[in-house]
Amino acid sequence: MSASATAQHFIGGEFVGDAERERRNPAQPTQIAVRSPIGDAADLDAAVTAAQAAQPAWRRTAAPQRGAILLRAAEVLRSRAETVAEDLVREEGKTRAEATGEVARAVGVLQFAGSLGWASNGSTYPSSLPGTTVTTRREPLGVVGLITPWNFPIAIPAWKSAPALISGNAVVLKPAELTPMSATHLAAALHEAGLPAGVFNIVHGTGAEVGEPLTRDPRIAAVSFTGSTAVGRRIERTLRERGARSQLEMGGKNAVLVVDDADPRLAAQVVAAGGFSLTGQACTATSRVYVTPGIRESFLAELSAIASQVVPGDGLDAATTMGAVVSDEQLAKNLAAVDAALSDGARLIHGSAEADGLRFSPVVAVDVDPGSPLATDEIFGPVIAVMDVPDYASGLRAVNDSPYGLTAGICTTSLALATDFADQAAAGIVKVNRPTSGLDLHVPFGGIKDSSSNTFREQGHTATQFYTWEKTTYIGVD
């Protein structure tokens, strides 16, 4: 079935805007996946104005009541999970199973944040003055801006919005241009759950027309962004100049170290899951692998066996195990990096520097020159660069020799090595015998170095810290 969805802006509690832009299904280029409006300065102004008008009453709404709305939104989203997942596959290209998992994650994120409506919001201190009570509580920032990527088009908008909303902020979201529909479904769920008009708003459009002005608008107290490091650093500078907060989740070049004592089959499964799931299009994807000599051959044999079973294709086709690459630009980046690695002396044990439209087979490159872009740059595709290291210590150094520091993994059966790696790896998230991608929604998430602003973490109960500030109150009663 070919179905085309229609996304709209969501401003002041209403779906508005003519669908002028067409986004084709990456796996079925003759089909239009979604039509969406292209926002401009006036749309953005209307959204920020609506958010500013709605926020004071939302802040005064009792937190358990705010939570109840998020819990209801989770139920609305869950009730239409299948439709939302199918629209997500058509606009983004991932598999139905991945999309269904992502929608379930968005539901979980809303439930988790909803339940925080009942949580303590501060502390009580003994005062040094008699008859005095000292308390702290967290206050919302006001109106916050969210800029989200195409690779998790509903989970990321949900996991940024939910902590912002439960804390009493109003939100203006700019979703990625390639995937406008998923966020529109989130808006519909919040709206139907009874979220007051203006508390949550969406403006679709380009980075230049909507994203950039959103970061410059003095009414926006903070911006949370997930996307490229180059754009993230620009946003950070803009926000810092006007004394406002930014939260950045940017690139990764996540490595897994496979050492001699690992189980070669488990190591291959871990690397393949981190490298090929979501078509490698996650900031947490595995893209570098360092392997020690004693396990090299058995590990590579297992890895290429898994790679040869991958079926790239249309995510809605039951036979597909890996979805399409999201866009021509993204594919070109993948192919150029593979080409460059080949010229630098690499050999492919699976895949090639060619694709069938946006259907691309997984690539496993060995003997990759550590200076080749395939070994150093974020590729964002199902491409794994394998490099040899003589031992654990040099492998650990290689893992850490990157400007990025999001996730890092080791495959080992040695508790001593696992513990040392967890201690020494320069990454925000360490995975032992588990894929670098795939995160629990209730656990803090973030990176270091060029991967993250490394200040406020996303997800988990500390996610609300970015969206709040701490107020201290002294009350004298006599």
Comparing CB distances to ligand UN1, the nearer of 286 and 304 is: 286
CB 237 within 8 A of CB 271: no
Residue 179 interacting with ligand UN1 (CB under 6 A): no
The footprint of ligand UN1 on residues 323-362 (CB under 6 A) is: none
Residue 224 interacting with ligand UN1 (CB under 6 A): no
What are the residue ranges of helices labelled H in 217-281? Answer: 229-241, 264-276
Residue 151 interacting with ligand UN1 (CB under 6 A): yes
Distance CA 124, CA 109 (A): 29
User: Treating both helix axes as pointing N-terminal to C-terminal, what angle do 155-166 and 180-192 enclose, rounded to 10 degrees?
Assistant: 40
User: Kind and range of the H or E element at 434?
Assistant: none
Minimal distance, residue 452 CB to ligand UN1, in Å: 9
Minimal distance, residue 250 CB to ligand UN1, in Å: 9
* Residue among 258, 348, 352, 364 at smallest CA distance from 306: 364
Which segments of 86-206 are extended strands (E)?
122-126, 132-140, 143-147, 170-174, 200-202
Specify the stretch interacting with ligand UN1 by CB under 6 A; choose among 90-98, 127-135, 177-185, 432-440: 432-440
Residue 109 interacting with ligand UN1 (CB under 6 A): no
* Residue among 381, 425, 386 at smallest CA distance from 407: 425
DSSP at 195? P
Minimal distance, residue 152 CB to ligand UN1, in Å: 6
Specify the stretch interacting with ligand UN1 by CB under 6 A; choose among 144-152, 164-172, 334-342, 350-358: 144-152
For ligand UN1, how many residues bind (rule: CB under 6 A)? 11
Distance CA 358, CA 428 (A): 32
Minimal distance, residue 155 CB to ligand UN1, in Å: 7
Distance CA 17, CA 116 (A): 34
Residue 283 interacting with ligand UN1 (CB under 6 A): yes
Minimal distance, residue 439 CB to ligand UN1, in Å: 4
Contacts of 75 (CB under 8 A, 6+ apart): 193
Comparing CB distances to ligand UN1, the nearer of 249 and 302 is: 249
- 249 is annotated as an active-site residue: yes
CB 226 within 8 A of CB 283: yes
* Residue among 373, 378, 388, 312 at smallest CA distance from 342: 373
CA atoms within 13 A on the CB side of 345: 7
Comparing CB distances to ligand UN1, the nearer of 203 and 283 is: 283
Residue 438 interacting with ligand UN1 (CB under 6 A): yes
Beta bridge partners of 445: 458
Minimal distance, residue 23 CB to ligand UN1, in Å: 19
Specify the stretch interacting with ligand UN1 by CB under 6 A; choose among 61-69, 90-98, 314-322, 437-445: 437-445
Among 51, 439, 453, 459, binds ligand UN1 (CB under 6 A): 439
Q: Looking up tokens 């210590």, which residue turns up?
A: 393
Residue 203 interacting with ligand UN1 (CB under 6 A): no
Sign of CA dihedral 290, 295, 297, 303: negative
Q: Coil, strand or helix: which one is 449?
A: strand
Comparing CB distances to ligand UN1, the nearer of 223 and 282 is: 282
Minimal distance, residue 235 CB to ligand UN1, in Å: 15
Among 279, 284, 361, 376, binds ligand UN1 (CB under 6 A): 284
Active-site residue identified among 209, 249, 302, 378: 249
Residue 124: CB atoms within 10 Å: 10
Specify the stretch interacting with ligand UN1 by CB under 6 A; choose among 72-80, 179-187, 415-423, 435-443: 435-443
Q: How many residues does the chain have?
A: 478
Comparing CB distances to ligand UN1, the nearer of 51 and 155 is: 155
Comparing CB distances to ligand UN1, the nearer of 8 and 151 is: 151
* Residue among 192, 205, 176, 167 at smallest CA distance from 93: 176
Amino acid at 457: R
Among 28, 437, 452, 459, binds ligand UN1 (CB under 6 A): 437
Residue 149 interacting with ligand UN1 (CB under 6 A): yes
Comparing CB distances to ligand UN1, the nearer of 59 and 434 is: 434
The number of angstroms, rounded, from the C-alpha of 163 to the middle of its chain's C-alpha atoms is: 15
Minimal distance, residue 249 CB to ligand UN1, in Å: 5
Contact residues for ligand UN1 (CB under 6 A)? 149, 151-152, 226, 249, 282-284, 437-439
Hey, which residues are catalytic here? 249
